Structure 1
Amino acid sequence: MDIKLELIGVPVTDIDRAKAFYERAGFHADHDVTVSEEIRFVQMTPPGSACSIAFGKGVTAMTPGSLDNLQVVVTDIEEAHADLSARGVGVSAIEDQPWGSFVYFADPDGNRWAVQQTTPRDR
């Protein structure tokens, strides 16, 4: 039996601001559907990912900004850092750890992301 993680709810305060941010970060807008006055569902997917994020009205009861350390993986951390920076996403400097190289950023609500190259740059 396969168990696949395919969707993660991200708590945000302003749906349109979050959508614009994630589009700027390179995520693809898969769905933006207003179901009713109580529900608006936005689904976005990072390039090449099988897992998407969802946010909107009536999507999650989590406090906006409460997600800490959502993580995506890339093959080239320097390319990812340059791409995110060029897109206007405020990213940290590259940090090298024994288990990989990382850059970090946060969305406008403070949900924090880690971008990891699983092989450290010095190997």
Structure 2
Amino acid sequence: MEMKLELVVVPVSDVDRAKEFYVQAGFVLDHDHTVSDEVRFVQLTPPGSGCSIAIGKGLSGMTPGSVEGLQMVVADADEAHADLSGRGIDVSPVDDQPWGRFVYFADPDGNRWALQQITTR
């Protein structure tokens, strides 16, 4: 039996501000649908990813900014750093570790992301 992780909820305090941030970071806006006064569903997908994120209103009981450890794999950490930095995203310097090279950033609420260039498998 296959199981595919295809959607992760990321809690945010201001949906429009978060949507603007993720689009600026290069995520593709897939959906922005207001279901009711209590529910708004916004789905965004990182370029080339099979997994999307959902931000919105009424999607989760998690505290905005509480998600840590979201990680995406990139081919080149230096290129990822230059791309995000060029888009106006505040990113860390490239962090070289024995198991990979990393670039870190956070959304406006503080949800934390890592981009990993895998150097050996």
> For this structure pair, what is the TM-score category when the shorter chain's length is used for normalisation?
over 0.9
Please give the secondary structure, in 2, of the residue aligned with 1:71: strand
Q: Report the TM-score, using the length of structure 1 for normalisation.
A: 0.96
For 1:59 and 1:109, the matched residues in 2 are separated by 16
Please give the secondary structure, in 2, of the residue aligned with 1:30: strand
Q: Equivalent residues in 2 for 1:30-45 (5 A)? A: 30-45=30-45
Q: Equivalent residues in 2 for 1:35-74 (5 A)? A: 35-74=35-74
For 1:85 and 1:7, the matched residues in 2 are separated by 26
For 1:102 and 1:47, the matched residues in 2 are separated by 18
For 2:5 and 2:42, the matched residues in 1 are separated by 17
Listed as ranges, the gaps of 5+ residues in structure 1 are: none
Identity value in percent: 69
Listed as ranges, the gaps of 5+ residues in structure 2 are: none
For 1:84 and 1:119, the matched residues in 2 are separated by 20
Q: CA deviation at 1:69?
A: 1.4
Q: Root-mean-square deviation (CA), in Å?
A: 0.7
Moved over 6 A (4+): none
Q: Report the TM-score, using the length of structure 2 for normalisation.
A: 0.98
For 1:54 and 1:36, the matched residues in 2 are separated by 16
For 2:23 and 2:41, the matched residues in 1 are separated by 15
Query: Is 1:15 aligned with 2:15?
Result: yes
